[in-house]
């Protein structure tokens, strides 16, 4: 991972090849080099905080005060994805012992915890103080993430959390022969700027998505009211219909945003972004999200999500 943004650069996990043999494959299409990290190319694996996806006009009103937030990076056209991705994070705990016996169970989960802080004067338009923490837990077939935000300021703060990973299925140079399944009861209806419509108009009833073949399909859409499995997790699947192999993105609540990577400057449609998010896009400006984003002084909120291999 990169300390800038605590972004996952690669996740290599056991994978059964088409010939039936097991090998290790990279399942995350992260930043390929330092130049991509510096450019924040496509917000790959970005931890999103204190807001997710787009902020309409870069402005919001909180507790009666209007705030203007410029684009997080000067070359970006919109205010989006939060600024946790631009912070320098510090490793505070790492479950990795170079002296560990070689015969110890290699499938034993390992973890790493990183922290970063948001100061009231560090980001124009966001005069609030947060302590951010992310814990990554890795085992042979899954990557789990818990993102936490603590309000360390004296006043309430607006906060929304999310993740922006691009996922690839080995053996596929594009997503065109894959299919998508989303366990959603609502599709989020947006305007031309991809901002959700006002109030209840933002939610269109559906009976799930898919399995949807992705060939010729362009998505930059969110889905909500997710059906959960017996373990309380909602799972969005991308898989090869011929083999059944693929990946499941799970989350403990919230919505999921799916982006098929159309228009990317690099590696267009080579991977699909399946983004667990706590709230709707532009939540800071929505009355129906006011309680969801409000974090009182001293309060902590955490959002758990991750990726699993579908054998």
**pLDDT at residue 231, rounded to an integer:** 96
Whole-number Å distance between alpha carbons of 273 and 256 = 10
The end-to-end CA distance of the chain, in Å, is 25
Handedness of CA 189, 268, 78, 84 (dihedral sign): positive
User: Could you say which residues of the chain have pLDDT below 50?
Assistant: 98-103
**pLDDT at residue 99, rounded to an integer:** 47
**pLDDT at residue 17, rounded to an integer:** 77
**pLDDT at residue 126, rounded to an integer:** 98
Which CATH architecture best describes the domain 12-310?
Distorted Sandwich (2.70)
Place of tokens 């989303």: 182
Run of H or E including 137: strand 130-139
Nearest CA to 131 among 145, 143, 139, 119? 119
Q: Give the domain ranges of the chain.
A: 12-310
**pLDDT at residue 158, rounded to an integer:** 98
Give every CB contact of residue 106 below 8 A, 6+ residues apart in sequence: 140
Run of H or E including 35: helix 34-39
* pLDDT single digits (tens) 224-277: 999 999 999 999 999 999 999 999 999 999 999 999 999 898 899 999 999 999
Nearest CA to 110 among 140, 143, 137? 137
* pLDDT single digits (tens) 146-174: 999 999 999 999 999 999 999 999 999 99
pTM of the model: 0.92
**pLDDT at residue 103, rounded to an integer:** 44
* Residue 292 main-chain phi, psi, to 5 deg: -70, -35
């Amino acid at each position: 991972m990169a300390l800038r943004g605590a972004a996952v650069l690669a996740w290599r996990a056991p994978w059964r090849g088409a010939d039936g043999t097991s090998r290790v494959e990279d399942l995350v299409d992260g930043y390929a080099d330092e130049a991509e990290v510096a450019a924040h190319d496509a917000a790959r694996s970005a931890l999103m905080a204190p807001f997710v996806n787009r902020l309409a006009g870069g402005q919001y009103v909180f507790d009666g005060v209007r705030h203007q937030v410029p684009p997080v990076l000067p070359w970006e056209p919109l205010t989006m994805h939060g600024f946790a991705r631009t912070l320098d994070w510090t490793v505070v705990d790492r479950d990795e012992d170079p002296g560990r016996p070689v015969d110890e169970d290699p499938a034993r989960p390992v973890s790493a915890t990183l922290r970063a802080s948001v100061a009231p004067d560090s980001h124009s338009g966001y005069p609030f103080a947060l302590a951010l923490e992310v814990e990554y837990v890795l085992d042979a077939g899954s990557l789990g993430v818990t993102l936490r935000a603590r309000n360390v300021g004296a006043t309430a703060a607006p906060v929304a959390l999310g993740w922006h990973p691009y996922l690839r299925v080995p053996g596929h140079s594009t997503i065109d022969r894959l299919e998508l399944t989303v366990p959603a009861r609502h599709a989020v209806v947006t305007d031309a700027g991809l901002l959700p419509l006002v109030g209840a108009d933002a939610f269109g009833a559906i009976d799930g998505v898919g399995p949807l073949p992705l060939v010729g399909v362009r998505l930059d859409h969110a889905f909500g009211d997710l059906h959960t499995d017996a373990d309380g997790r909602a799972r969005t699947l991308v898989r090869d219909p011929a083999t059944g192999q693929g990946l499941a993105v799970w989350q403990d609540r919230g919505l999921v945003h799916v982006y098929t990577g159309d228009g990317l400057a690099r590696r267009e449609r080579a991977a699909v972004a399946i983004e667990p998010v706590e709230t709707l896009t532009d939540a800071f400006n929505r009355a129906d999200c006011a309680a969801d984003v409000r974090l009182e002084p001293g309060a902590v909120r955490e959002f758990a999500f991750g990726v699993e291999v579908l054998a």
